[in-house]
Structure formats: C-alpha cells, structure tokens
Amino acid sequence: METLKKMSVFTLAMGILLVIVVIMTMIAGGQLLNLGLDWVLGVENCYYAREAIAQECSKDINGIKRDIANSVSMLVIAAPMAWFTFKQLKKK
C-alpha cells in the first residue's frame, strides 16, 4: 500500500512538472514566433518627441537579439524537461 502511495505522489509531482514546462515551452515558442513575424513584416519602433513633430522609427536590433536569446534559453531548458517528464509519466 505504501509503495502505491509513493508512486502516486511521484506521478502527481511529475504531472505538475510536465504542465509547468509545457507552459514554459509554449511561451518561449510564442515569443520566437512573434519575433520572427515582427522581423518578416518589418515592424519598427517609433518614438515621438514632444518638442519636434518629427518621428524617429527604427528596428531595435539589440532588443530583438536579447529577446531571441531569452526565448531560446527558455526553450533549451524547458523542452528537454518536458520530454523527460512525459517519458517518465508514460512509463508509470
């Protein structure tokens, strides 16, 4: 009976971990898709100055690189964890 209880606690913990890492993977994938679409569609950041009527628009290349690095690092951590926990749950 105690072994069954330990297995169910382990299965529950792995299930919760799987849900968390799948959500992390979905968020990171969505961020990468958003950055890719922004790049393909040519979205620019426009800044308006109060003093002048002129507007300054440009692509924030460093911001894009930073966002890509954040998303890829999240995927590198979350995707293998999701795969591992899924395989562990499938075994049980």
**Residue ranges of domains in the chain:** 28-81
pTM for the full predicted model: 0.66
Q: How far apart are CA 18 and CA 79, in angstroms?
A: 10
Q: How far apart are CA 66 and CA 72, in angstroms?
A: 10
pLDDT at res. 39: 81
Going residue by residue through the chain, which has 92 residues, state the pLDDT in tens, using 9 for 90 and above: 566 677 788 888 888 999 999 999 999 999 889 888 888 887 777 766 666 666 667 777 787 888 888 888 888 888 888 888 888 888 86
